[in-house]
Amino acid sequence: MPALNPSGSHLGLILPLCTSSATVGMSLLQYPLFFAFLQPYGSNSTAKSDKTANPEKISGLALSRFWSAFLAPAGSLIAGVALTSTASGILASRWLQSHTTLETTAVSKWYAYGAVLALGHLAFVPMVAGPIWKITEAGKSSDEAASKLEAGNEGALRTWLGWHTARTLLVDIPALWCFAEGAALSFWVI
């Protein structure tokens, strides 16, 4: 079997795979990051046998402040990566279709499917925006009790984590799979 000789076109075929991998990586990183806000901390967290102990959590004001600072840079990065995956997937698909051979046309479909799925990441924005808005707005109201703020933020964070998991499983991982399949097949065709 001859060795692969990478060319400039191969880099264009790898880009959607790289950006989709970054999307999945960032998605997975968000689990330990945000589950930390749901865990008890402090001296009360070790007293599991005492049923009257109320373990403190940082899902109150700290979570609201974190989301407020985290949202703009993280949202821009994630949207940029998702749009890059979509655009580069479309370009790779079109480039492969321009060769008009049976093999490249079949491979181009993997890139097209991946591009649609990568764009699907952004389709979840309305579902995840609601819980995020509740969390960030809760931090702006100074008259609420800390326990009420914590309970509301914890519920909103759990809702966000549910939508985040659905998005990861339904569009992010399948997009990565499609781009990986397309990249793997394209190196044997071109």
Report if pTM > 0.85: no
pLDDT digits (tens, 9 = 90+) for 6-23: 555 567 889 999 999 999
The residue to which tokens 């609420």 are assigned: 144
N- to C-terminal Cα separation, the chain: 14
How do the domains of the chain map onto residue ranges? 8-42+57-189
Rounded percentage of the chain residues whose pLDDT exceeds 70: 78
Answer whether residue 101 shows pLDDT above 80: no
The predicted model gives 155-168 an average pLDDT of 96
Number of residues that this document lists for the chain: 190
User: What residues have CB less than 8 Å from 90, skipping those under 6 apart?
Assistant: 111, 112, 115
What's the token pair of residue 21? 């991998």
Does residue 129 carry a pLDDT above 60? yes
Residue 1 has pLDDT above 50, yes or no: no
Separation in Å, CA 50 to CA 46, 138, 150, 152: 10, 30, 21, 25
Mean residue pLDDT across the chain? 84
pLDDT at residue 52, rounded to an integer: 47
Cβ–Cβ < 8 Å for 89, 115: yes
Task: Give the pLDDT confidence of 47-75 residue by residue, as tens digits.
Answer: 454 544 455 677 788 888 899 999 999 99
What's the whole-number mean pLDDT along residues 112-121? 97
| 3-state SS, one letter per residue, for 56-87 | EECCCHHHHHHHHHHHHHHHHHHHHHHHHHHH
